[in-house]
């Protein structure tokens, strides 16, 4: 293929891909900035509405509950379940500070009796904790609030919808190239992996930093000591070590994360003092 023809083909593929993206994508601010000041605009695929993503997440959450129930692992520790739900209720009461509609989400909190050090909040407010993270780290209520606030922040910022939108953009780009060059899409997968490492991972670290900051403000507004976010990550650092280099991980290195949290605690101190005095 001559050089001029190759350039023409690439421009044609680029035009097809950009056409899909221009029609299907929008830039949005999913949350208010808050005292902490998270204001990044996010690019979302318009066909992936929040309601659709919430429905998908709800089905996945129900499957996780059913699987845990079948293994007799679901909510087997009533005291811890009550504790988690009490903490969650205080945090949920503060979500309108970041997005008013989130106060109407069908929030739910459950506990799986499993040694994993894990917790998550799905789009739409479906929260899951694993007993392992509570037991292994001997978590205080404030430290649980730090974890839960962080995971809730991912849902508030629609990081799941954002990641799905990025995946759609990559897929559309692959389809455009394969259509123009008559290439088997499977042959493009290696390039997709490279693009994933070049683009997706830095954004994922950005999302983690945003969740740290919004979670910090949520816990402070709910009357939980923001300093507990520091003690939490110090415990995690001791437990897990620093075995994964930061540039190869979706999560910031522990020291980086702790430094970022410590630098932002002064922004939420007044909120914490006000809440804890009520």
Angle between helices 141-156 and 201-221 (to 10 degrees): 130
Token pair listed for 19: 């056409």
**Catalytic residue check, 66:** no
| Residue (of 109, 155, 141, 156) closest to 231 by Cα position | 141
Active-site residue (options: 63, 80, 143, 151): 151
Token pair listed for 215: 């979670």
Alpha helices in the chain (DSSP H): 3-24, 50-70, 78-92, 131-136, 141-156, 159-181, 189-195, 201-221, 227-240, 254-276
| Residue 214 burial (CB count, 10 A) | 26
Beta pairing class for 25-28 and 119-122: unpaired
- Residues 242 and 253: their CA atoms lie apart, in Å, by 7
User: 51 with 219: CB under 8 angstroms?
Assistant: no
User: 119 with 143: CB under 8 angstroms?
Assistant: no
- Residues 87 and 77: their CA atoms lie apart, in Å, by 16
- Residues annotated catalytic, as ranges: 151
């Amino acid at each position: 293929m001559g050089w001029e023809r190759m350039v023409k083909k690439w421009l044609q593929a680029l035009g097809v891909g950009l056409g899909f993206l221009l029609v299907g994508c929008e830039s949005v601010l999913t949350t208010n900035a808050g005292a902490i000041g998270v204001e990044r605009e996010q690019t979302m695929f318009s066909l992936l509405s929040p309601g659709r993503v919430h429905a998908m997440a709800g089905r996945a959450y129900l499957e996780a509950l059913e699987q845990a129930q079948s293994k007799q692992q679901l909510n087997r520790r009533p005291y811890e379940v009550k504790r988690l739900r009490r903490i969650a209720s205080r945090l949920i009461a503060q979500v309108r500070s970041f997005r008013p509609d989130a106060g109407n989400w069908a929030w739910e909190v459950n506990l799986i009796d499993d040694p994993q050090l894990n917790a998550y909040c799905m789009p739409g407010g479906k929260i899951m904790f694993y007993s392992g993270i509570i037991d292994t780290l001997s978590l205080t209520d404030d430290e649980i609030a730090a974890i839960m606030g962080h995971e809730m922040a991912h849902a508030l910022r629609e990081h799941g919808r954002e990641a799905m939108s990025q995946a759609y953009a990559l897929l559309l780009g692959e389809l455009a190239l394969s259509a123009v060059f008559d290439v088997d899409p499977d042959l493009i997968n290696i390039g997709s992996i490279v693009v994933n490492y070049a683009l997706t991972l830095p954004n994922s670290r950005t999302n983690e930093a945003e969740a740290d900051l919004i979670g910090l403000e949520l816990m402070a507004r709910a009357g939980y000591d923001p300093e507990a976010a520091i003690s939490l990550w110090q415990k995690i650092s001791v437990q897990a070590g620093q075995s994964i280099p930061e540039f190869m991980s979706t999560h910031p290195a522990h020291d980086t994360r702790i430094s970022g949290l410590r630098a932002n605690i002064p922004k939420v101190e007044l909120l914490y003092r006000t809440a804890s005095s009520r």
